[in-house]
Amino acid sequence: MAEIRPATEADLEIIAAQLGRVPRGVLGIAAYCNLTTPPNAAHTAPHPAVIATTPRLPNGEPFPTFYYLTCPAAVAACSQLEAAGVMREAEALLDDPQHPEFRLAYHRAHRAYLAARKVASPAPVPEIANFSAGGMPDRVKCFHALLGHALAAGLGVNPVGDWVLARLRAENLWSPETCDWHPEP
């Protein structure tokens, strides 16, 4: 399971700026942008990229998206891929009879997602007991959720999330190491 770092007040302010609203149900930060990149003229300071959220929001609403992508630059890049129809390519990978291991790895990613959510917040939420995010385990429905999982869990856990990240890098749309998003002053 990915390390979830407690969110500081500064983190929560940045997340609110990223989302354009007060964040709800934040358990902590699951991934950062620019964490290992030294600040210089081309890069901004580290900032949250993915938060871990409670499976039941403070208002009582069930919320299956445990790893929630918050970095606006990453969100915009995923949206650009989705708008370009790239999701069909990812779906084709799941259905490729030449690579059945890809679908099996995606099923493992689904189980890993559920297990991580349960460890971080063990109180049962029956409404979402078998729901992860992003269409797992059988469809590709949301690059944002799948990239969030890949960033939080690390490479090798979610094959579609890893594929999205590789695609974003290859098309120079976004990477967590070179993200140029920064909060407005």
d(CA 148, CA 162): 10
**What is the rounded average pLDDT for all residues in the chain?**
94
User: Would you say residue 41 has pLDDT above 50?
Assistant: no
Nearest one of 61, 68, 90 to 147, comparing CA atoms: 68
DSSP classification of residue 128: G
User: Would you say residue 182 has pLDDT above 90?
Assistant: no
Section 87-102 average pLDDT: 96
Taking only the tens place, the pLDDT of each residue in 124-171 is 999 999 999 999 999 999 999 999 999 999 999 999 999 999 999 999
Give residues with Cβ within 8 angstroms of 117, minimum separation 6.
55, 66, 132
Nearest one of 69, 81, 87 to 135, comparing CA atoms: 87
User: Would you say residue 76 has pLDDT above 70?
Assistant: yes
pLDDT at residue number 39: 53
CA distances from 162 to 16, 56, 115, 147, 159 (A): 27, 27, 19, 7, 5
pTM for the full model? 0.94
- Contact assessment for residue 54 and residue 29, using Cβ atoms and an 8 Å cutoff: no
pLDDT at residue number 183: 83
- Terminal-residue alpha carbon distance, the chain: 35
